[in-house]
Amino acid sequence: MTQPGLTPAGDPESPVFIRQVLDVVESIPRGMVLTYGDIAEFLEDGGPRQVGAVMSRHGAAVPWWRVVNASGTLPPHLRGEAARHYEDEGTSYDKSRERVNLGTARWDGQ
């Protein structure tokens, strides 16, 4: 249980958690991606859903197309715009399946 006035860890409404997620996204190099779960694991906080909630509400100002789900896709309404970014950045992307090749495009944090 959280004390009144304190925000629980991984809370997608917490300004600290929001900033942490957005900072990780901003650090992903061109042509590379992370999954929502990768970001939560890196932060050792929250989970894929919490990271997804942050990206949905606050991710417009960062390279949001560099964060995909565990299968390498984004929601259908974002795929067209993301594909343009992937092509521009040289991201390994399968146009026919509308998914990033995580085997080659997943960033290892180095």
Which tens digit of pLDDT belongs to each residue from 25-52?
Answer: 999 999 999 999 999 999 999 999 999 9
Phi/psi of residue 99, each to 5°?
A: -145, 150
Which tens digit of pLDDT belongs to each residue from 75-86?
Answer: 999 999 999 999
Q: Which of 11-15, 64-68, 77-81, 88-92 has the lowest mean pLDDT?
A: 11-15
In the chain, % of residues over pLDDT 90: 85
The whole-number pLDDT of residue 9 equals: 65
Locus of tokens 């495009």: 105
CB-count exposure of residue 10 (10 Å: 0-12, 13-18, 19+)? buried
Buried b (16+ CB within 10 A) or exposed e, 79-107: beebbebbeebebbbeeeeebbebeebbe
Does the domain at 15-104 match CATH 1.10.10.10? Answer given as: yes
The residues spanned by each domain of the chain are: 15-104
Locus of tokens 């957005």: 22
